[in-house]
């Protein structure tokens, strides 16, 4: 499933992007950039247009604060929500308690796709793959629904049957810009990705609908 990232702070621009998408071919991701400016209005608009919504806020705090935050957010018509797996097992368990009985999946971010091995070695004292593996162990033990990881760590996730995968860092020509661990949509699907997050290749296109259709077809 393709997830189109909406990173606009202007409601007119964001709603125009949504108007040019097909809810049968994609979901919509609303991250902190959009949510902090036009979040609730944009979530409501996307839901009215028939889109499933992935709210990508990467929550990271003490367990009770994360639980209370999620309880508030689930009043919105969302289907998926992110937390940072590095918040620990107790925090992830609290997140799952907050969505108990609700149709909302919790995904843990393993390592940001902007981080290289040099970055993760500086921060976590291990490579990106080692960090992802450690976070996968935590995610499995907390029994969350899935994880967010770069295409290059998908093979690690594929070995964990209990975890779904959301994969950012998708580029049409492997251009990297600010994301350092990228692959094409087809390559990511072939490695087992369940959800592909694609932003600029679609939203910055002169023909958003055509761009979505081409990427959708390329993954089949």
Helix (H) or strand (E) holding 56: strand 53-59
Distance from the Cα of residue 58 to its chain's centroid? 9
54's CB contacts (< 8 A; 6+ apart) are: 3, 27, 28, 29, 30, 78, 79, 80, 81, 82, 166, 195
Which of 12, 25, 58, 89 is catalytic? The answer is 58
Active site residue 180: no
Angle, in degrees to the nearest 10, between helices 128-142 and 117-124: 60
**Among all chains, which residue has been given the structure tokens 């033990």?**
141
Q: What is the dihedral of CA 24, 27, 28, 31, to 10 degrees?
A: 180
Where in the sequence numbering do the catalytic residues fall?
Answer: 58
């Amino acid at each position: 499933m393709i997830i189109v990232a909406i990173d606009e702070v202007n409601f007119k621009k964001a709603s125009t992007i949504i108007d040019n998408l097909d809810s049968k071919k994609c979901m919509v991701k609303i991250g902190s950039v959009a949510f902090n400016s036009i979040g609730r209005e944009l979530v409501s608009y996307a839901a009215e247009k028939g889109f499933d919504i992935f709210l990508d806020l990467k929550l990271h705090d003490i367990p009770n604060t994360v639980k209370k935050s999620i309880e508030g957010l689930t009043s919105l018509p969302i289907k998926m929500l992110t937390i940072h797996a590095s918040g620990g097992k107790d925090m992830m368990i609290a997140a799952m308690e907050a969505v108990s009985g609700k149709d909302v999946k919790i995904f843990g971010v393993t390592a940001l796709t902007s981080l290289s091995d040099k970055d993760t070695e500086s921060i976590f004292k291990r490579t990106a793959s080692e960090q992802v593996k450690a976070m996968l162990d935590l995610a499995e033990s907390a029994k969350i629904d899935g994880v967010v990881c770069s295409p290059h760590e998908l093979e690690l996730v594929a070995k964990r049957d209990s975890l779904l995968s959301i994969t950012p860092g998708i580029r049409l020509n492997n251009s990297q810009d600010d994301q350092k661990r990228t692959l094409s949509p087809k390559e990511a699907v072939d490695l087992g990705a369940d959800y592909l997050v694609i932003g600029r290749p679609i939203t910055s296109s002169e023909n958003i609908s055509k761009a979505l259709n081409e990427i959708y077809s390329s993954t089949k």
